[in-house]
Chains A and B, each alone.
Chain A
């Protein structure tokens, strides 16, 4: 094996994507980096200029992309004065998979397979938003059977639970509470096992498809769900007791990564970040989709906009999701699990053996794909990370002409420099963890 050559450094250098050293950055650019979001006036910016440290007092440190605490392949360049972060710049793209380009070559039925791998901690949401956008383009969004919609809600809330449990686990691990990592994964395993029973896979399920869901709920699903709920409820109280009052946990998270409502809105941050500032914006309540207007739940809101609020919000959102799941258990109607519109839905498998038309129909739907009328539409759902949107442009053929997924983590990561400014490096770890980015949907 060859040893490390200097060529490697040249190859990992990303040019203008990286943080410009203080010497190379003009005054205007420095002020823009520091003062942009805060809308500082000229006088404030000039005052800032006076107490900027010189080049030899600062150091640019590179965190990532291979790093245990950056939640995937996020590269964060920090300019430090001692332990204090002055400026930072996230460099992303290390997981860019060309999914939007690939999406233009896959049919609408294959689309969920592709998009589900974007936000891989909550894959069913990607499938849901893609399916909703496709159905709106098709014009069948009002005709999806109620049972299918309720099943979608059930799966999405279970997925929200598992995603937030993942957050609790990684948040704990990043702050040093290693046992929280193991506890969070233990609960997540229960949820994943339930999802495996229902959808067939632990992750990247490809279960929510345009037209409904892929299959009906199996026998014994109700017991499975009740088992998970009964298991999780007391354990969540345990984690609450373990972490929320714990002085070290509080000291590490309270007052760290503070963002105000106006700043969050200016930066486009949504989800727990926006709710932690005090604004109760939750798409499930404010612009409801599926049947969220028929279930009772609260949008959990924080007050200080810091990392502790985001932790508390996600912890309580698990409880709210469990309450929603209990209501879904009671409200789930009988019926079809997918729309019976022949243009969209393949025939039942048993009929393929009997009828030639059914075989041709099945063949065409799975090879050529069903055609979607031309047009463009934007649909959004509330994923555990914020507003997950899908902008679909169709030209009337069987593959999307343009498939754009607006990943919440992409925009939330752009809010990181603002939240890291003035904090310590250790706070940087806590803040990244509280934003809970998933690089799959950041880079797509």
Chain B
């Protein structure tokens, strides 16, 4: 016990662990992940079932669905997107704060589903960029939870942010760490594991 100061931080042998800032940020982002209510059709019922007590989303900290897009990170587009609803979807997506993720739930949201006709947008990725697609008609709560966990994994290892930087999207979702004078390059999420 006690702190051998000559060894610096390594002298502390209890209650402190060190990590990279971006890992901590990713960890906290994936574990306090709130969705915006965007249930459209039948998939919305399965989304609510996933949030209910049997398939509890609360174990991921996600049982709260915020109605305000300003307060949420994830938009689960649950259901078929009609032509009339498309501008509303874009408006809600634009109002969400960075970083934000989109999960396309169900086949109607992913590709138009069984309704290949005039009334539906054939896939919400025509309107908003989608990170994970969850197929099913409707996907059961277990499929939805698997899709959500996939997003969690991709947030944790920075995959999604890397992809966005590569494609030039997602401004502001990266991480810039100001270094003190004399230090090498700042570490960003896009730069990977340097610094």
Contacts and interface: CB of A to CB of B under 8 A. Distances in A.
Describe B's contact surface by its main secondary structure.
loop
A165 to B, nearest CB: 11
A185 B137 contact: no
Interface string A407-444: 00000000000000000000000000000000110010
A100 to B, nearest CB: 10
Nearest to A181: B52
A292 to B, nearest CB: 27
Interface residues of B, number: 43
Contact of A8 (B52, B84, B85, B94): B94
A356 interface: no
B41 to A, nearest CB: 5
Given A95-B79, A98-B115, A185-B49, A440 B41 contact: yes
B117 A98 contact: yes
A11 interface: yes
Contacts of A65: 85, 88
Contacts of B115: 97-99, 102
A134 interface: no
B65 interface: yes
A255 to B, nearest CB: 27
A185 B49 CA distance: 7
B118 interface: yes
A93 B45 CA distance: 19
A113 B114 CA distance: 9
A262 to B, nearest CB: 34
Interface in A179-210: 181-182, 185-186, 188-189, 192, 202-204
Interface string B37-65: 11111101110110011100000000001
Given A1-B98, A98-B119, A182-B53, A68 B82 contact: no
Contacts of B138: 202-204
Contact of A443 (B42, B82, B98, B137): B82
6 contacts: A14-B84, A66-B88, A98-B118, A113-B114, A186-B54, A203-B138
Given A94-B85, A99-B115, A203-B46, 16 more contacts: A1-B169, A1-B170, A12-B87, A66-B37, A66-B88, A72-B39, A95-B80, A98-B119, A98-B120, A101-B118, A101-B119, A102-B115, A120-B41, A181-B52, A182-B52, A203-B45
Interface of A: 1-4, 8-9, 11-12, 14, 65-68, 72-73, 93-99, 101-102, 113-114, 117, 120-121, 166, 181-182, 185-186, 188-189, 192, 202-204, 439-440, 443
List the 7 closest pairs (A to B, CB-CB), nearest first. A98-B119, A185-B52, A11-B87, A120-B42, A98-B117, A68-B67, A94-B85
